[in-house]
A and B are shown apart, each in its own frame.
Chain A
Amino acid sequence: MSAEAPPVEELASRQPVRGSLPRRLAGRPELGAVVGAVAVFVFFSIVADAFLQWSSFSTVLYASSTIGIMAVPVALLMIGGEFDLSTGVLVTSSALISSMFSYQMTANVWVGAGVSLLATLAIGFFNGYLLVRTNLPSFIITLGTFLILQGCNLGFTKLISDTVSTKSIADMEGFPSAHKVFASHLTIGDVEVQITVLWWFALIALATWILLRTRAGNWIFAVGGAKEAARAVGVPVERTKIGLYLGVALAAWISGQHLLFNYDVVQSGEGVGNELLYIIAAVIGGCLLTGGYGSAVGAAVGAFIFGMTNKGIVYAQWGADWFKFFLGAMLLLATLLNWWVRKRAEESK
């Protein structure tokens, strides 16, 4: 992203570029990521025997979806020019609140899930509100929230349940239906697909629609690309930013409910470090760290690349001790390819 602020009308590079198909594709931020994903897919199809089974594909999709559900709103937030470091533990907080509220009140688990939704949105609002009020970097504000939530997760769990994990709520009313919504799997043909994959696709569709077809989408690109210019032409910068944090919170709630209803006991120390995975997925998918550029589909493809690489190494049966090394090397290669393709595409424009 260049330092000069482009006029607001041009900020939205999302308008379809007129011309031939390759030319139109070249204008899309996710082009490089898609090429990277294809490369990773072909690579593991060759080196790993078990990679090309439908059941393996479903496992890879599951791994991608648990990152992808969060990567989509995180990408939107990054397009809007902000960061969120509290996302990883926020997912855990959301699951803990649901579980403990249901258990302590002996309430139907849907009541707990509802309370958790409100509380999670409130935390998202807190991040956004503090940001627009103080104008401090989002890095600092959400780092604070990250630590506060980490402490609260542990402190409240210990205070309320007297142990560091929640009690099982699997025998409570509402659990079967909640489990269906957040943690079941569907059988398509003879392949089992986790429901998180559907949640993921739904979020991608929703986010893409918002970005490309609504006024709010315009605003997101504008506030990320050139905040002051956007404000000058009447974009509600504050509302947009708070809205983006609420979006992140909503996705954290969905992820958190999956965590709770899939494993029915939540460990309070979980989630630390996951915030980086979401940001990584968004960046691999073509979002710029400086804001103003990127796409929801790109972030989803980024999550898919991460999921494929992460599990592909296991399918390939490479040495477990070197797992992280391979993971890093593969991601770097995929991102380099991504960068190269995008550069070529921009040159040919």
Chain B
Amino acid sequence: MTAAVLAAVLGTVLAGCSSTGGKRAEERAAREAAAGGRAAVNTPKWTFAMVTHSGDGDTFWDIVQSGAKQAAVKDNIRFLYAHNEEGKEQSQLVQSYIDQKVDGLIVTLAKPDAMKAVVKKARKAGIPVITVNSGSEESKAFGALTHVGQDETIAGEAVGDELNKRGRKKALCVLHEQGNVGHEQRCDGAAKTFDGKMEKIYVEGTNMPDVQSSIEAKLQSDKGIDTVLTLGAPFADTAAKAADQAGSKAEIDTFDLNAKVAAALQDGTLGFAVDQQPYLQGYEAVDLLWLNRYNADVLGGGRPVLTGPQIITKDDAAELASYTKRGTR
């Protein structure tokens, strides 16, 4: 009986094969770009840990991790990772790594006040700390070696400049997490340098149909909007759908990259993307910790090492498409 069912299922599966796309196409591509994974140095196997404020299932932090892991393999490092979006929980995770006497720590300071004490504790315990992504202002004061990341306000300002260059008049900034300080900074930065008018809208980031219908509603009620700016890559495509449904000709621009954004840039659905190169944030953080352990090197001279903003348009997108597909851009 079971065998018969299994056979029937398998039969359907085989009969229903797709000759386009899917895993087979991906594997074909992967065979061509196989990379080796051996340590390039013979320093002892140190342990570095990274603790971020990421929520569950966040594409962006996935890319940061893959950068960190790549550097860890090269530098002969054992790499540990943990995350929690609550500041208090995040600091407890850091504490647990201090207790385990790791050789280096990488943390984000999205909620700086919650992290202050524990970062100082790490330093007292002789563990070098590098901050990434958020916390460029507090990093030095808390005693971290270096900060690696993008200044959100500067990134926003770059967007404003780019919008001016494109002759835009009225833009809509789509925030997918109400109360996220970094998101506010991006929109405010863009509004600061943008000569046109900028409005904000909050949408429920965990509910795609809501994101779509809210943007749709906004575009229908205000025909003057000629630009929609989303703050995360997954929302750009949805914004394009919303504009299409609302019969709006607004250009869609976005922060951050993924495979779909790269493809949409190429076919002209999107205007431009602002990349803060998350892969670089993970990679550099691990590499700088290694350099510090091995050679007492410090980068940045007390100032943040910026990984963005890099404005990506149609011209660059073709080159980046294959990297976004493998999840490193």
Residues of A within 8 A of B (CB): 48-51, 53, 55-56, 59-60, 62-63, 66, 102-111, 114, 150, 153-154, 157, 162-165, 167-174, 185, 192, 258-259, 262-263, 265, 267-274, 307, 310-311, 314-317, 320-321, 323-324
Contact = CB atoms under 8 A, between A and B. Distances in A.
Interface string B8-35: 0000110011111111111000000000
B259 A164 contact: no
Given A314-B221, A317-B221, A63 B19 contact: no
A48, A105, A314 pick with most chain B CB within 10 angstroms: A314
Contacts of A272: 206
A55 B18 contact: no
Given A59-B213, A265-B234, A102 B18 contact: yes
A146 B63 CA distance: 27
Contact of A263 (B22, B62, B217, B237): B237
B200 A102 contact: no
B22 A172 contact: yes
A106 B206 CA distance: 28
B24 A106 contact: yes
A267 B217 contact: no
A319 B191 CA distance: 17
Contacts of A271: 206-207
Given A314-B201, A317-B222, A171 B259 contact: no
Given A56-B220, A114-B12, A265 B57 contact: no
B47 interface: no
Contact of B220 (A50, A165, A169): A50
B121 interface: no
Given A107-B16, A169-B21, 13 more contacts: A55-B246, A56-B221, A103-B23, A107-B22, A173-B19, A185-B245, A267-B208, A269-B206, A307-B213, A310-B210, A316-B221, A320-B201, A323-B178
A59 B245 contact: yes
B221 A48 contact: yes
Contacts of A103: 21-23
Contact of A314 (B16, B212, B217, B241): B217
A56 B259 contact: no
Contacts of B175: 320
A259 B217 contact: no
A270 B207 CA distance: 6
Interface residues of B, number: 51
Contacts of B259: 167-168
Interface in B187-226: 199-202, 204, 206-210, 212-214, 216-218, 220-222
B99 interface: no
B315 interface: no
Contacts of A274: 206-207
A192 B21 contact: no
Nearest to B55: A269
B210 A163 contact: no
A263 B208 contact: yes
13 contacts: A62-B213, A102-B22, A104-B23, A105-B23, A163-B327, A167-B259, A259-B209, A263-B238, A265-B237, A274-B207, A310-B210, A320-B199, A320-B202
Contacts of B199: 320
Nearest to A51: B221
Interface of B: 12-13, 16-26, 55-59, 62, 175, 178, 199-202, 204, 206-210, 212-214, 216-218, 220-222, 234, 237-238, 241, 245-247, 258-260, 327
A296 B25 CA distance: 45
A174 B21 CA distance: 11
B18 A153 contact: no
Contacts of A262: 208-209, 241
A171 B250 CA distance: 26
A153 B56 CA distance: 10
A59 B220 contact: yes
Contacts of A55: 220, 246-247
A209 B258 CA distance: 46
Nearest to B201: A320
Contact of B207 (A153, A172, A273): A273
Nearest 10 CB-CB pairings of A with B: A269-B57, A106-B22, A50-B221, A108-B16, A171-B21, A111-B16, A63-B213, A173-B18, A66-B209, A314-B217
A68 to B, nearest CB: 11
B17 A108 contact: yes
A157 B62 CA distance: 12
A272 B260 CA distance: 23
Contacts of A154: 56-57
Contacts of A265: 234, 237, 260
Nearest to A150: B56
Nearest to B327: A163
A165 B235 CA distance: 13
A242 to B, nearest CB: 21
Contacts of B200: 320
Contacts of B258: 165
A157 B327 CA distance: 14
Contacts of B217: 50, 56, 59-60, 63, 311, 314-315
Contacts of A60: 213, 217
A53 B217 CA distance: 11
Nearest to A272: B206
A157 B57 contact: yes
B267 to A, nearest CB: 12
Contacts of A314: 201, 214, 217-218, 221
A269 B220 contact: no
B18, B201, B234 pick with most chain A CB within 10 angstroms: B18
B206 A270 contact: yes
Contact of A173 (B20, B24, B58, B237): B20
A104, A106, A154, A307 pick with most chain B CB within 10 angstroms: A106
B206 A59 contact: no
